Structure 1
Amino acid sequence: MQRILFGNHSTQMPAIARHIDHHRYEASFAPFDAVDLSRFDLVVPLRVGQIEGARGGRAVLPTADLVALCDDKLALNLWLIDHGFGDTVPTLLGARPTDYPYIRKTRRGDFGFGCAMIRGPGENDGSDHPDVFRQRAVAGADEYVLHLLRVGGTIRFQVAYRYDMGQPLGVRGAVDRPASITPADPGPALGPCTAILEALGYDGNCCFNYKWEEGALRILELNRRFGGSLVGVVTEYVTAHLAAL
Structure 2
Amino acid sequence: MSETVSAAMLVIGDEILSGRTKDRNIGHLADIMTAIGIDLKEVRIVADDEDDIAGAVNALRSRYDYVFTSGGIGPTHDDITADSVAKAFGLPCEHDARAMKLLGEHYARREMEFTEARQRMARMPRGAEHIDNPVSMAPGFRIGNVHVMAGVPAIFQAMLDNVVPTLRTGAKLISATVHCPFGEGVIGGPLGDIQKAHPETIIGSYPKYRDGSFWTELVIRSRSADRLEAARAAVEAMVKNLAPAA
| TM-score (normalised: structure 2) | 0.34
Structure (1 or 2) with the greater helix fraction: 2
State the structure with more CA Rg.
2
State the TM-score, normalizing by the size of structure 1: 0.34
